[in-house]
Amino acid sequence: MKQTQRMQVTRWVLAVRRARDWTIAMVVFALLWLVSLFPMEPAINFVDRAARRIGPWTSRHRLARTNLARAFPGKSEAEREQIAVEMWGNMARLAAEYVFLDQLFDVDPTASVPGRVEVAGADIFNDLRDNPRPFIVFTAHTGNFELLPIAAATFDLDVTALFRPPNNPYIAGRVLSARRTSMGHLVPSRAGAAIALARKLDSGGGVGMLVDQKFHKGAVTTFFDLPVKTNPLLAKLARQFDCEVFPARCIRLPGGRFRLEFEPAMPVPRTADGSVDVTATAQMLNDKVEAWVREHPGQWQWFHDRWNIKRKVRRG
Protein backbone atom coordinates (compact mmCIF):
# COMPACT_ATOMS: atom_id res chain seq x y z
CA MET A 1 0.00 0.00 0.00
CA LYS A 2 2.74 2.42 0.97
CA GLN A 3 4.68 1.59 -2.18
CA THR A 4 1.58 2.30 -4.29
CA GLN A 5 1.14 5.63 -2.54
CA ARG A 6 4.78 6.52 -3.15
CA MET A 7 4.40 5.69 -6.84
CA GLN A 8 1.30 7.87 -7.05
CA VAL A 9 3.13 10.75 -5.36
CA THR A 10 6.07 10.33 -7.74
CA ARG A 11 3.76 10.40 -10.77
CA TRP A 12 2.05 13.50 -9.41
CA VAL A 13 5.36 15.28 -8.81
CA LEU A 14 6.55 14.42 -12.33
CA ALA A 15 3.28 15.63 -13.82
CA VAL A 16 3.53 18.93 -11.93
CA ARG A 17 7.15 19.32 -13.06
CA ARG A 18 6.22 18.67 -16.70
CA ALA A 19 3.36 21.18 -16.46
CA ARG A 20 5.69 23.77 -14.95
CA ASP A 21 8.34 23.22 -17.63
CA TRP A 22 5.73 23.40 -20.39
CA THR A 23 4.30 26.65 -19.00
CA ILE A 24 7.72 28.26 -18.70
CA ALA A 25 8.64 27.14 -22.22
CA MET A 26 5.42 28.55 -23.69
CA VAL A 27 6.06 31.90 -22.00
CA VAL A 28 9.63 31.98 -23.33
CA PHE A 29 8.51 31.04 -26.86
CA ALA A 30 5.79 33.69 -26.77
CA LEU A 31 8.25 36.37 -25.69
CA LEU A 32 10.71 35.38 -28.43
CA TRP A 33 7.89 35.42 -30.99
CA LEU A 34 6.93 38.89 -29.80
CA VAL A 35 10.54 40.04 -30.13
CA SER A 36 10.64 38.69 -33.69
CA LEU A 37 7.84 41.07 -34.73
CA PHE A 38 10.10 44.08 -34.33
CA PRO A 39 13.23 45.21 -36.20
CA MET A 40 16.37 43.48 -34.94
CA GLU A 41 18.36 46.30 -33.31
CA PRO A 42 15.47 48.00 -31.44
CA ALA A 43 14.21 44.61 -30.25
CA ILE A 44 17.60 43.49 -28.92
CA ASN A 45 18.24 46.86 -27.29
CA PHE A 46 14.84 46.72 -25.61
CA VAL A 47 15.35 43.27 -24.05
CA ASP A 48 18.81 44.37 -22.91
CA ARG A 49 17.37 47.36 -21.03
CA ALA A 50 14.52 45.30 -19.61
CA ALA A 51 16.83 42.55 -18.33
CA ARG A 52 19.10 45.07 -16.62
CA ARG A 53 16.08 46.16 -14.59
CA ILE A 54 14.49 42.75 -13.99
CA GLY A 55 17.63 40.63 -13.46
CA PRO A 56 18.64 42.16 -10.10
CA TRP A 57 15.25 41.13 -8.67
CA THR A 58 15.66 37.44 -9.54
CA SER A 59 16.92 34.72 -7.21
CA ARG A 60 19.95 34.09 -9.42
CA HIS A 61 21.19 37.62 -8.84
CA ARG A 62 22.19 36.73 -5.32
CA LEU A 63 24.39 33.90 -6.60
CA ALA A 64 25.90 36.21 -9.22
CA ARG A 65 26.78 38.79 -6.57
CA THR A 66 28.30 36.11 -4.33
CA ASN A 67 30.40 34.72 -7.20
CA LEU A 68 31.59 38.21 -8.09
CA ALA A 69 32.52 38.99 -4.48
CA ARG A 70 34.61 35.82 -4.28
CA ALA A 71 36.24 36.30 -7.68
CA PHE A 72 36.88 40.06 -7.34
CA PRO A 73 37.40 40.80 -3.64
CA GLY A 74 39.36 43.92 -4.59
CA LYS A 75 36.46 45.53 -6.43
CA SER A 76 33.90 47.67 -4.66
CA GLU A 77 30.33 46.48 -4.20
CA ALA A 78 29.17 49.09 -6.71
CA GLU A 79 31.66 47.84 -9.30
CA ARG A 80 30.54 44.25 -8.82
CA GLU A 81 26.88 45.27 -9.07
CA GLN A 82 27.61 47.05 -12.34
CA ILE A 83 29.18 43.85 -13.73
CA ALA A 84 26.15 41.81 -12.63
CA VAL A 85 23.73 44.22 -14.29
CA GLU A 86 25.77 44.17 -17.50
CA MET A 87 25.66 40.37 -17.36
CA TRP A 88 21.84 40.40 -17.37
CA GLY A 89 21.86 42.62 -20.43
CA ASN A 90 24.30 40.27 -22.15
CA MET A 91 22.13 37.24 -21.37
CA ALA A 92 18.99 38.94 -22.66
CA ARG A 93 20.78 39.86 -25.87
CA LEU A 94 21.95 36.27 -26.26
CA ALA A 95 18.37 34.99 -26.03
CA ALA A 96 16.97 37.60 -28.42
CA GLU A 97 19.78 37.07 -30.91
CA TYR A 98 18.57 33.50 -31.45
CA VAL A 99 15.59 35.02 -33.22
CA PHE A 100 17.75 37.09 -35.56
CA LEU A 101 20.69 34.78 -36.25
CA ASP A 102 20.17 34.92 -40.01
CA GLN A 103 20.32 38.72 -39.98
CA LEU A 104 22.96 38.95 -37.27
CA PHE A 105 25.68 36.75 -38.70
CA ASP A 106 27.09 38.47 -41.78
CA VAL A 107 30.60 37.03 -42.03
CA ASP A 108 31.80 36.70 -45.61
CA PRO A 109 35.22 34.99 -45.85
CA THR A 110 35.85 36.71 -49.20
CA ALA A 111 35.01 40.26 -48.01
CA SER A 112 37.80 42.76 -47.40
CA VAL A 113 35.77 44.91 -44.97
CA PRO A 114 34.29 43.34 -41.81
CA GLY A 115 30.56 43.61 -41.18
CA ARG A 116 28.65 43.31 -37.93
CA VAL A 117 30.73 40.23 -37.04
CA GLU A 118 34.49 40.41 -37.53
CA VAL A 119 36.81 37.42 -37.34
CA ALA A 120 40.35 37.47 -35.97
CA GLY A 121 42.31 34.34 -36.80
CA ALA A 122 40.59 33.35 -40.04
CA ASP A 123 43.93 31.98 -41.22
CA ILE A 124 43.61 29.26 -38.56
CA PHE A 125 40.23 28.26 -39.98
CA ASN A 126 41.69 28.12 -43.46
CA ASP A 127 44.67 26.04 -42.35
CA LEU A 128 42.48 23.49 -40.55
CA ARG A 129 40.21 23.25 -43.56
CA ASP A 130 43.00 22.96 -46.13
CA ASN A 131 45.15 20.64 -44.02
CA PRO A 132 42.64 18.25 -42.38
CA ARG A 133 43.68 16.75 -39.06
CA PRO A 134 42.10 16.08 -35.67
CA PHE A 135 41.81 19.16 -33.46
CA ILE A 136 39.86 20.53 -30.49
CA VAL A 137 38.49 24.08 -30.14
CA PHE A 138 37.40 25.22 -26.70
CA THR A 139 35.47 28.29 -25.63
CA ALA A 140 33.45 29.71 -22.73
CA HIS A 141 30.06 31.31 -22.13
CA THR A 142 31.26 34.79 -23.11
CA GLY A 143 29.59 37.26 -25.47
CA ASN A 144 27.44 35.40 -27.98
CA PHE A 145 29.40 32.15 -27.96
CA GLU A 146 26.75 30.62 -30.26
CA LEU A 147 28.32 32.49 -33.18
CA LEU A 148 31.51 30.43 -33.04
CA PRO A 149 30.18 27.18 -34.57
CA ILE A 150 28.31 29.23 -37.19
CA ALA A 151 31.61 30.84 -38.15
CA ALA A 152 33.26 27.42 -38.44
CA ALA A 153 30.50 26.26 -40.79
CA THR A 154 30.85 29.48 -42.83
CA PHE A 155 34.51 28.68 -43.40
CA ASP A 156 33.54 25.12 -44.47
CA LEU A 157 35.13 23.67 -41.35
CA ASP A 158 33.49 20.45 -40.18
CA VAL A 159 33.28 20.63 -36.38
CA THR A 160 31.20 18.50 -34.03
CA ALA A 161 30.25 20.58 -30.99
CA LEU A 162 29.46 19.26 -27.52
CA PHE A 163 26.69 21.20 -25.82
CA ARG A 164 24.67 20.96 -22.61
CA PRO A 165 20.92 21.10 -23.29
CA PRO A 166 18.80 23.39 -21.07
CA ASN A 167 17.20 21.67 -18.10
CA ASN A 168 13.74 22.45 -19.48
CA PRO A 169 13.07 19.65 -22.04
CA TYR A 170 10.68 21.76 -24.12
CA ILE A 171 13.17 24.61 -24.43
CA ALA A 172 15.97 22.09 -25.02
CA GLY A 173 14.13 20.63 -28.01
CA ARG A 174 13.60 24.05 -29.58
CA VAL A 175 17.19 25.13 -28.96
CA LEU A 176 18.60 21.91 -30.42
CA SER A 177 16.43 22.31 -33.51
CA ALA A 178 17.59 25.91 -34.01
CA ARG A 179 21.23 25.02 -33.51
CA ARG A 180 21.16 22.11 -35.94
CA THR A 181 20.04 24.37 -38.78
CA SER A 182 23.13 26.58 -38.64
CA MET A 183 25.76 25.16 -36.32
CA GLY A 184 26.84 21.90 -37.91
CA HIS A 185 26.95 18.64 -35.97
CA LEU A 186 25.91 18.72 -32.32
CA VAL A 187 26.37 16.17 -29.52
CA PRO A 188 24.34 16.62 -26.30
CA SER A 189 26.46 16.20 -23.16
CA ARG A 190 25.08 12.91 -21.89
CA ALA A 191 26.01 9.23 -21.95
CA GLY A 192 27.81 8.39 -25.17
CA ALA A 193 28.99 11.95 -25.88
CA ALA A 194 32.67 11.11 -25.26
CA ILE A 195 32.47 8.18 -27.69
CA ALA A 196 30.92 10.39 -30.39
CA LEU A 197 33.64 13.01 -30.00
CA ALA A 198 36.36 10.36 -30.02
CA ARG A 199 35.00 8.94 -33.26
CA LYS A 200 35.07 12.39 -34.82
CA LEU A 201 38.71 12.91 -33.86
CA ASP A 202 39.60 9.40 -34.95
CA SER A 203 38.22 10.20 -38.41
CA GLY A 204 40.47 13.25 -38.64
CA GLY A 205 37.81 15.83 -37.81
CA GLY A 206 37.46 18.55 -35.20
CA VAL A 207 35.38 18.97 -32.05
CA GLY A 208 34.29 22.03 -30.10
CA MET A 209 33.68 22.23 -26.36
CA LEU A 210 32.56 24.69 -23.69
CA VAL A 211 34.88 24.27 -20.72
CA ASP A 212 33.51 26.63 -18.04
CA GLN A 213 30.56 24.59 -16.78
CA LYS A 214 30.02 23.15 -13.32
CA PHE A 215 31.29 19.60 -12.99
CA HIS A 216 30.77 17.48 -9.88
CA LYS A 217 33.52 14.97 -10.59
CA GLY A 218 36.73 15.78 -12.37
CA ALA A 219 40.15 17.31 -12.15
CA VAL A 220 40.88 19.27 -8.97
CA THR A 221 41.75 22.76 -10.19
CA THR A 222 41.25 26.44 -9.38
CA PHE A 223 39.31 29.21 -11.10
CA PHE A 224 39.90 32.77 -9.89
CA ASP A 225 42.11 31.16 -7.20
CA LEU A 226 39.09 29.27 -5.84
CA PRO A 227 38.88 25.45 -5.79
CA VAL A 228 36.71 23.96 -8.52
CA LYS A 229 36.21 20.66 -10.33
CA THR A 230 36.86 20.73 -14.08
CA ASN A 231 35.66 18.29 -16.72
CA PRO A 232 38.71 16.26 -17.82
CA LEU A 233 37.16 15.18 -21.16
CA LEU A 234 39.05 17.63 -23.35
CA ALA A 235 42.37 16.74 -21.74
CA LYS A 236 41.69 13.01 -22.09
CA LEU A 237 40.77 13.40 -25.76
CA ALA A 238 43.92 15.45 -26.37
CA ARG A 239 45.94 12.71 -24.68
CA GLN A 240 44.29 9.93 -26.67
CA PHE A 241 44.64 11.58 -30.10
CA ASP A 242 47.65 13.85 -29.43
CA CYS A 243 45.83 16.65 -31.28
CA GLU A 244 46.12 20.42 -31.26
CA VAL A 245 43.98 22.49 -28.87
CA PHE A 246 42.77 25.94 -29.98
CA PRO A 247 41.16 28.65 -27.82
CA ALA A 248 38.29 30.67 -29.32
CA ARG A 249 35.95 33.29 -27.91
CA CYS A 250 33.30 35.86 -28.81
CA ILE A 251 33.55 39.46 -27.62
CA ARG A 252 30.69 41.93 -27.74
CA LEU A 253 31.69 45.28 -29.25
CA PRO A 254 29.90 48.65 -29.09
CA GLY A 255 27.07 49.19 -31.54
CA GLY A 256 25.78 45.62 -31.48
CA ARG A 257 28.89 44.24 -33.16
CA PHE A 258 31.04 41.19 -32.36
CA ARG A 259 34.60 40.00 -32.69
CA LEU A 260 35.29 36.28 -32.93
CA GLU A 261 38.86 35.50 -31.91
CA PHE A 262 40.53 32.22 -32.86
CA GLU A 263 43.92 31.90 -31.24
CA PRO A 264 46.89 29.71 -32.17
CA ALA A 265 47.11 26.24 -30.67
CA MET A 266 48.17 26.16 -27.03
CA PRO A 267 51.07 23.94 -25.89
CA VAL A 268 49.46 21.18 -23.85
CA PRO A 269 51.18 20.33 -20.51
CA ARG A 270 52.82 16.93 -20.45
CA THR A 271 54.11 14.53 -17.83
CA ALA A 272 57.68 13.25 -17.59
CA ASP A 273 56.89 10.39 -19.99
CA GLY A 274 55.57 12.80 -22.63
CA SER A 275 51.86 12.05 -22.28
CA VAL A 276 49.29 14.81 -21.79
CA ASP A 277 48.95 15.85 -18.14
CA VAL A 278 45.17 15.78 -17.63
CA THR A 279 45.02 17.89 -14.45
CA ALA A 280 47.51 20.48 -15.71
CA THR A 281 45.63 20.73 -19.00
CA ALA A 282 42.34 21.27 -17.17
CA GLN A 283 44.02 24.05 -15.19
CA MET A 284 45.35 25.55 -18.43
CA LEU A 285 41.79 25.78 -19.74
CA ASN A 286 40.60 27.49 -16.55
CA ASP A 287 43.47 29.98 -16.68
CA LYS A 288 42.63 30.93 -20.27
CA VAL A 289 38.93 31.36 -19.52
CA GLU A 290 39.75 33.38 -16.41
CA ALA A 291 41.90 35.73 -18.49
CA TRP A 292 38.99 36.21 -20.91
CA VAL A 293 36.52 36.86 -18.09
CA ARG A 294 38.81 39.34 -16.34
CA GLU A 295 39.07 41.29 -19.60
CA HIS A 296 35.27 41.46 -20.12
CA PRO A 297 33.64 40.43 -16.81
CA GLY A 298 30.17 41.64 -17.75
CA GLN A 299 30.03 39.23 -20.68
CA TRP A 300 30.29 36.04 -18.61
CA GLN A 301 27.46 34.17 -16.84
CA TRP A 302 28.06 34.94 -13.18
CA PHE A 303 24.72 33.44 -12.16
CA HIS A 304 26.08 30.01 -13.18
CA ASP A 305 26.99 27.83 -10.19
CA ARG A 306 30.56 27.21 -11.39
CA TRP A 307 31.93 26.83 -7.86
CA ASN A 308 29.04 24.64 -6.68
CA ILE A 309 27.98 27.01 -3.88
CA LYS A 310 24.32 27.63 -4.78
CA ARG A 311 22.97 25.64 -1.85
CA LYS A 312 25.21 27.47 0.60
CA VAL A 313 24.08 30.81 -0.81
CA ARG A 314 20.43 29.80 -0.40
CA ARG A 315 20.98 28.72 3.20
CA GLY A 316 22.94 31.85 3.97
**For residue 164, how far is the Cα from the chain centroid?**
8
Q: Concatenated DSSP letters for 167-179?
A: SSHHHHHHHHHHH
pLDDT of 90 over the 70 cut: yes
| CB-neighbour burial class of residue 130 (10 A; exposed 0-12, middle 13-18, buried 19+) | exposed
- What are 35-51's pLDDT values in tens digits? 889 899 999 999 999 99
Query: Are the CB atoms for 135 and 242 separated by under 8 Å?
Result: no
Q: Partners of 208 in the beta sheet?
A: 137, 161
- Structural domain boundaries of the chain? 2-101, 106-299
pLDDT band at 23 (very low <50, low <70, confident <90, very high): confident
Helices within 55-134 (DSSP H only): 60-71, 77-99, 101-104, 122-130
Q: What is the pLDDT of residue 226?
A: 97
